[in-house]
Structure 1
Amino acid sequence: MGKFIGIFACLFIVALDIIAGILGIKAEAAQNQEKHLRLWIFECKEPSHDAFVLGLAAVTLLGIAHVLANLLGGCTTCTQEELDKASPSKQLSMACLVFTWIILAVGLSMLVIGIISNHKSRASCGFTHHHFLSIGGILCMVHSLFSVAYYVTSTSSLSE
């Protein structure tokens, strides 16, 4: 029964991250459909409400997936001394945990920058900000890989 719950948890986390990635990429597409005027590195564009909403949904799903992965994976070694003495499986688990946090930070930053640039009050001119939403969407998908790797390695290290 525990294996089925683990498989379901992994599939659910992957589904949330992939949906968040698709929403981020669709938000980029919605942003690119708006009118914009470009002169060298400066660009004037109108914000896209659809891109704003899709980006916000992507951020929410990425956050939920990250919280679920961390809650289900747990923390088996939390100090440097324990990590130095830990088995390779536990060390790999901690490495995956660190990578999920790094990918979360970068992915959320990219999505939030894209969301802010599409807020209704942000109709302005400035430097070009391309592909923040799509890069954030791709990082959502990468997050799913490391989240599942973290969950699998952390639960396998518990049985040691």
Structure 2
Amino acid sequence: MARNLDFLVCILVMVMDTVAGILGIEAEIAQNKVKHLRVWILECRDPSHQAFKLGLAAVVLLSVAHVITNLLAGCVFIRSKEEMDGASPNKQLAFASHVLAWIMLGIAFTLLICGTLANSKSRKDCGIVHHRLLSIGGVLCFIHGLFAVAYYVSAAAVFREERELHQHGAQQNKPNQQSTQP
């Protein structure tokens, strides 16, 4: 049953990150449909309410996917280089993919928020051109999904390994306890 649940969590996270990526790219397309005046590197444009809504939805989905991954996968951390060297490959993969998922979240979240706020109703923007924030943030959502799923799968493997090691150790100690009693 747990393996089926793991599969469903992985599918859920990938779908959420994929939809967030598509929404980010769609927000960029909606933003580009708004009228704008461009002179060299300066540009004046009206905000796009559709791009704002799509960007906000992408930010929410990206955040929820990351929270679900971290809550359900637990925490796999490594405190030192010595522990990293002695860790199992699953634990090393879990640690690396966890760090990379956080990095992707930080970059994608920042780009999506900046692109979304640029399309807020209260802003008529004139300034230096900063295109592609929403679409780059959307593409990074796809990459975040890959790292998040890799983290979830490898963290589940680490906890399974530790549970088996603990059960195996408990079984070895059990016969010793029985033989010492009179």
What TM-score comes out, normalization by structure 1 length? 0.96
**Structure 2: which amino acid aligns with 1:8?**
L
Deviations 1:13-45 (CA, angstroms, capped at 9, x unpaired): 001001111110110010000000111100010
In 2, the alpha carbon distance for the partners of 1:30 and 1:93 equals 37
Deviations 1:99-139 (CA, angstroms, capped at 9, x unpaired): 00000000001001101110112103100010000011111
DSSP-derived class of the 1:159 partner: helix
**Structure 1: which amino acid aligns with 2:65?**
A
Matched, 1:147 2:137: no
What runs of 5+ residues in structure 2 fail to find an aligned partner? 162-182
Give the corresponding residue for 2:7.
7
Give the corresponding residue for 1:87.
88
- Alpha carbons 1:113, 1:132 under 8 Å: kept: yes
Moved over 6 A (4+): none
**Structure 1: which amino acid aligns with 2:4?**
F
- Alpha carbons 2:17, 2:142 under 8 Å: kept: yes
Greater RCO (CA < 8 Å, at least 6 residues apart): 1
- Alpha carbons 2:20, 2:57 under 8 Å: kept: yes
Alignment of 1:10-159 (within 5 A): 10-80=10-80, 82-159=83-160
DSSP-derived class of the 1:103 partner: helix
In 2, the alpha carbon distance for the partners of 1:49 and 1:153 equals 40
What TM-score comes out, normalization by structure 2 length? 0.85
- Alpha carbons 2:36, 2:45 under 8 Å: kept: yes
In 1, the alpha carbon distance for the partners of 2:142 and 2:135 equals 11
What's the CA shift for 1:78? 4.5
Q: Larger Cα Rg: Structure 1 or Structure 2?
A: 2
What runs of 5+ residues in structure 1 fail to find an aligned partner? none
After superposing the two structures, state which structure 1 stretch, 119-128 or 96-105, moved more: 119-128
What's the CA shift for 1:91? 1.1
Q: How many positions carry a matched residue from both structures?
A: 160
In 2, the alpha carbon distance for the partners of 1:2 and 1:31 equals 43
DSSP-derived class of the 1:111 partner: helix
DSSP-derived class of the 1:125 partner: strand
Deviations 1:57-91 (CA, angstroms, capped at 9, x unpaired): 00000000000111111113352264443212101
